[in-house]
């Protein structure tokens, strides 16, 4: 929605986009396939991609035919992304990439990957020498290995990169300057309504329970949740407004993610208390949320790391 019309977008604002995405999430719509590309890869291509990359890749994302996975985390680099060791070496016309990424959500279904790699030596500042690049998944040298979830589902993967050729025009921005860019991208990843609304369908099902509605103690608990939710809506709206002003709302996005994650867990706690044995829709949503809850505070940045980012920001 928020991309230029010439690339298949609607030139709408980020606040407009928020209105639509919030409604999709509120209804529990299946949105995962297009989420990463729409939320952060497209904006990264718009900000840092060459014109040929923009013309080649953005219309396919907008048309819903290209799906992106995120190759950031590695076995020894998750919270500390500056420690990535996947390496790209310069060759004629491009780069040769070797390394390993983990926790790559839905890589087995995606057509393209975003990669954060090391192209320069790790100097005094460990943030130097990082580079962002894109690659189709069907090029020689990429293999995808499933990492089964606790519930047996196939969501995570290990992405192995062996001598993968990435052409020069698939680099985002300037080689070696990737840290500033990825920081901005992470604020797009962290600051949206999806960091608050994972358990909203569950809250909504609880609100519809006649026994819960009739109970005064339950009403107090739900009232408290709803007032927190209202404050969080203002917070992620502020992030969208900052994006419209072309700012990188790093601190606000980290705060939205940290507080949103806590809210999602709180909803689950209240549901466990008020509807511990509920069946039907509420039982199904509760059981799904119990399985997913351990990941709320990890995906998109661990809680302790977000607190550290917030503490270092000067808020507007």
Whether 194 is a known active-site residue: answer: no
Nearer to ligand FAD, 40 or 119 (CB): 40
Nearer to ligand FAD, 10 or 308 (CB): 308
Nearer to ligand FAD, 54 or 131 (CB): 131
Closest CA to 273 of 213, 206, 226: 206
Binding test (CB under 6 A) with ligand FAD, winner from 2, 73, 131, 261: 73
Nearer to ligand FAD, 159 or 202 (CB): 159
Task: Say whether residue 313 binds ligand FAD (CB under 6 A).
Answer: no
CA distances to 71, 89, 96, 115, 139 from 161, in Å:
10, 13, 9, 10, 10
Binding test (CB under 6 A) with ligand FAD, winner from 68, 103, 179, 236: 103
What CA–CA distance (Å, rounded) separates 246 from 55? Answer: 22
Point out the catalytic residue in the list 22, 74, 132, 189: 189
What phi, psi does 85 have (nearest 5°)? Answer: -115, -5
Binding test (CB under 6 A) with ligand FAD, winner from 58, 66, 72, 222: 72
Binding test (CB under 6 A) with ligand FAD, winner from 31, 33, 207, 298: 298
| Span near ligand FAD by CB under 6 A; candidates 97-105, 122-130, 171-179, 195-203 | 97-105
Task: Say whether residue 304 binds ligand FAD (CB under 6 A).
Answer: yes
CB of 93 to ligand FAD, least distance (A): 27
Task: Say whether residue 137 binds ligand FAD (CB under 6 A).
Answer: no
Closest CA to 316 of 228, 259, 237, 242: 242
Q: 232 and 263 in contact (C-beta within 8 Å)?
A: yes
| Span near ligand FAD by CB under 6 A; candidates 74-82, 139-147, 241-249, 253-261 | 74-82
Q: 10 Å Cβ neighbour count for 95? A: 23
Residue 20 makes CB contacts below 8 A (sequence gap 6+) with 1
CB of 71 to ligand FAD, least distance (A): 6
Q: 116 and 186 in contact (C-beta within 8 Å)?
A: no
Structure tokens at 281: 């829709």
What CA–CA distance (Å, rounded) separates 57 from 298? Answer: 30
Nearer to ligand FAD, 142 or 218 (CB): 142
Question: Where are any strands of DSSP class E within 13-170?
Answer: 68-71, 87-91, 94-101, 112-118, 130-136, 142-147, 156-167
Catalytic residue IDs: 189
Residues making contact with ligand FAD (CB under 6 A): 69-73, 78-80, 103-105, 295, 298-299, 301-302, 304-305, 308
């Amino acid at each position: 929605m928020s991309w230029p019309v010439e690339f298949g977008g609607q030139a709408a604002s980020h606040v407009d986009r928020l209105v639509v995405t919030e409604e999709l999430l509120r209804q529990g719509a299946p949105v995962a396939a297009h989420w990463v590309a729409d939320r952060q890869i497209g904006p990264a291509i718009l900000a840092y991609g060459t014109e040929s990359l923009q013309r080649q890749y953005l219309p396919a994302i907008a048309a819903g035919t290209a799906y992106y996975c995120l190759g950031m985390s590695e076995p020894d680099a998750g919270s500390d992304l500056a420690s990535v060791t996947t390496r790209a070496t310069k060759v004629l016309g491009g780069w040769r990439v070797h390394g390993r990424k983990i926790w790559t959500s839905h890589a087995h279904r995606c057509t393209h990957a975003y990669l954060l790699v090391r192209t320069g030596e790790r100097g005094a500042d460990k943030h130097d020498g990082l580079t962002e690049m894109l690659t189709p998944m069907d090029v020689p040298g990429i293999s995808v290995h499933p990492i089964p979830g606790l519930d047996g589902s196939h969501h995570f993967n290990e992405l192995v990169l062996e001598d993968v050729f990435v052409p020069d025009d698939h680099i985002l921005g300037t080689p070696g300057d990737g840290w500033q860019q990825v920081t901005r991208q992470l604020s797009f990843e962290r600051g949206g309504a999806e960091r608050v609304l994972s358990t909203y369908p569950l809250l909504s099902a609880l609100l519809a329970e006649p026994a819960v509605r009739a109970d005064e103690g339950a009403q107090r608990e739900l009232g408290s949740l709803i007032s927190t939710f209202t404050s969080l809506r203002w917070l992620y709206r502020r992030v969208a407004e900052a994006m419209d002003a072309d700012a990188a709302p790093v601190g606000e996005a980290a705060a939205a993610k940290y507080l949103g994650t806590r809210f999602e867990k709180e909803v689950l706690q209240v549901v466990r208390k008020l509807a511990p044995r509920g069946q039907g829709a509420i039982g199904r949503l509760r059981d799904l949320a119990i399985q997913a809850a351990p990941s709320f505070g990890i995906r998109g940045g661990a809680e302790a790391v977000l607190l550290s980012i917030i503490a270092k920001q000067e808020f507007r």
